[in-house]
Amino acid sequence: MKNRLSTFTCVMIVGITAIAINALPDRAKAEYGDVVINEYSDDAGMRPVVFPHWFHRIRFRCKVCHGDLGFAFDAGGNDIDMVKIIDGQYCGACHDGDVAWSIENCELCHSGQPNTPTQVHHSTVQQLLNNMQDAAQDDEGDE
Amino acid sequence: MVKRNFAWPLVAAGLFLACVGFVVMHVALADDNPNAFNRLLKPVSERNAPPESDGIHDPAADGTLMLQSPKEAFESLPRSRSGNYVDWNAAIDQKLIAPRSDIHNPEATAIVLDLNIVRQVKGSMPDVVYPHKQHTQWLDCANCHPAIFIPMKGANQISMAGILLGEKCGVCHGKVAFPLYDCARCHSKPK
C-alpha cells in the first residue's frame, strides 16, 4: 500500500511540475499597447508601473493625455516621478480621488514584474531593436 | 514477492500516463512539434490575457488581482483582426464607448475634420488613403501638426522604413494604434 502511494505521489509530482513549467508566464501575452515604465521604480524598491492604454482609451480620447496633459508620445520619455504626480501633473491630473482613484492605491499602478525595463508591448520598434540586439549578440558569439 | 508483483504494473502504468501526458501537452502547446499548425502564432485562447497571467504584471502584487481583464472589457466591443482585436473606431461610431474629450467635462465633443488625403505610393502597393475623420475623433490637430507632419502638401517624406522605426505614422501605429502588419487598412486605394 505504501508503495502504491509513493509511486502515485511521484507520478503526481512529475506531472504537476511539467504543467507548472509549461504554464510559466510569457511576456508575449501582454496586451497590445501596454506600457511598462521603470525609470525610477526598481531603484526605489517598488514594482515597475504597468500602464494599460486599452483601459484608458475606453474612457478618454488620446488628446486628453497626449495634448491637454502634455504626455509625449514616448515611453519613458516623460520623466514622471511621484512628486510631479502628487503635484497634479501627468497621472496626478486624474488620479486625485476625484476623476479617478487616488495615489494611495500604490499597487494598482506599481504591479509590474520587478526588473522589467521600460517598454511598449508588441511595439514594432521594440521588436526590431530586440532582433538587432539578438543578432549582435550572435555575431559576438561567433567571433 | 507478492507485493512486488503488485507494485510493478502500477509503476508501469504511472510512467505510461506520465509519457502520454507529456506528449499530449507538448503537441497541444506546440512547443516541440516541428510540424505543428501555426507553430509561432499566438493561440487565440491567449489573446487579451488577464493581468495575473499576462507575463508583465506580478501575480504576487495584490493590485494585480484587482485590475480588470481586457477580455471582460472587450466582450461587448466590435472585433478587429489585430492589435487589441478591438475595432476602436467602430466602437465609438456605434456609441459602445464614449471616451471623454476633456478630463472634467463629459459633454465636450471632439472637433472632427472629415478630409481624406490620398498619398500615391511607389511600387505596386495600393495608394494610401489617410482619413482625418477617424484621427480627429481621437486626436487634436496639434498632436500631429506641425511636429510630426508639416501641414503642407508634398512637404512630408514618408517611408515604411521610417514608420517601422517609429517615425511619422509609426509614432502611434505599431505601438498602440493598429499594427503595421495590417497593411490594407492604410494601403486601401487600388491603382
pLDDT of res. A24: 42
- CATH of the domain spanning A28-136: 3.90.10.10
Which grid coordinates are listed for B32?
A: 516541440
3-state secondary structure B55-117: CCECCCCHHHHHCCCHHHHHCCCCECCCCCCECHHHHHHCCCCCCECCCCCCCCCCCCCCCEE
Which grid coordinates are listed for A136?
A: 549582435
Interchain CB distance below 8 Å, B57 and A112:
yes
Chain B residues within 8 A of A19 when measuring between CB atoms = 25
Which grid coordinates are listed for A54?
A: 486599452
Select the more confidently predicted residue: A143 or B137.
B137
| Best mutation target, A41, A56, A62, A94, to test chain B (most B CBs within 10 A) | A62
- Interface ipTM above 0.85: no
If one counts every other C-beta atom within 10 angstroms of the C-beta of residue B185, the result is: 15
Which grid coordinates are listed for B100?
A: 471623454
User: Beta strand B187-189 with A35-37: parallel, antiparallel or unpaired?
Assistant: unpaired
CB pairs under 8 A between A and B: 180
Which grid coordinates are listed for A130?
A: 530586440
3-state secondary structure B109-140: CCCCCCCEEEECCCCCCCEEEEEHHHHHHHCC
Chain A residues within 8 A of B106 when measuring between CB atoms = none
- In tens, the pLDDT along B106-115 reads 999 999 999 9
Secondary structure tally for chain B: helices H, strands E: 7, 3
- In tens, the pLDDT along B84-143 reads 999 999 999 999 999 999 999 999 999 999 999 999 998 899 999 999 999 999 999 999
Which pTM was predicted?
Answer: 0.80
**CA angle in degrees (0–180, nearest 5) for A124-B142-B147:** 60
- Nearest by CB: A32 against B83, B110, B139: B83
Cβ within 8 Å of B, A 80-139: 93-94, 99, 105-114, 116, 120-125, 128
If one counts every other C-beta atom within 10 angstroms of the C-beta of residue A124, the result is: 19
Q: How far is A115 from chain B (nearest CA, A)?
A: 10
Select the more confidently predicted residue: B7 or A62.
A62
Which grid coordinates are listed for B104?
A: 472634467
Chain A residues within 8 A of B25 when measuring between CB atoms = 18-19, 22
What confidence tier does B46 reach under pLDDT thresholds 50, 70, 90? confident
Residue B38 burial (CB < 10 Å; 0-12/13-18/19+)? Answer: exposed
Stretch A28-54: mean pLDDT? 95
pLDDT of res. B177: 97
Cβ atoms B119, B128 nearer than 8 A: yes
Interchain CB distance below 8 Å, B63 and A106:
yes
Stretch A60-78: mean pLDDT? 97
Torsion angles phi and psi, residue B127, rounded to 5: -65, 160
Chain B residues within 8 A of A4 when measuring between CB atoms = 6-7, 10
Q: How far is A136 from chain B (nearest CA, A)?
A: 18
For chain A, which residues make up each domain, given as ranges? Answer: 28-136
Q: Where in chain B are all domains bearing CATH 3.90.10.10?
A: 78-189
Topology of domain B78-189, per CATH? Cytochrome C3 (3.90.10)
pLDDT of res. A26: 55
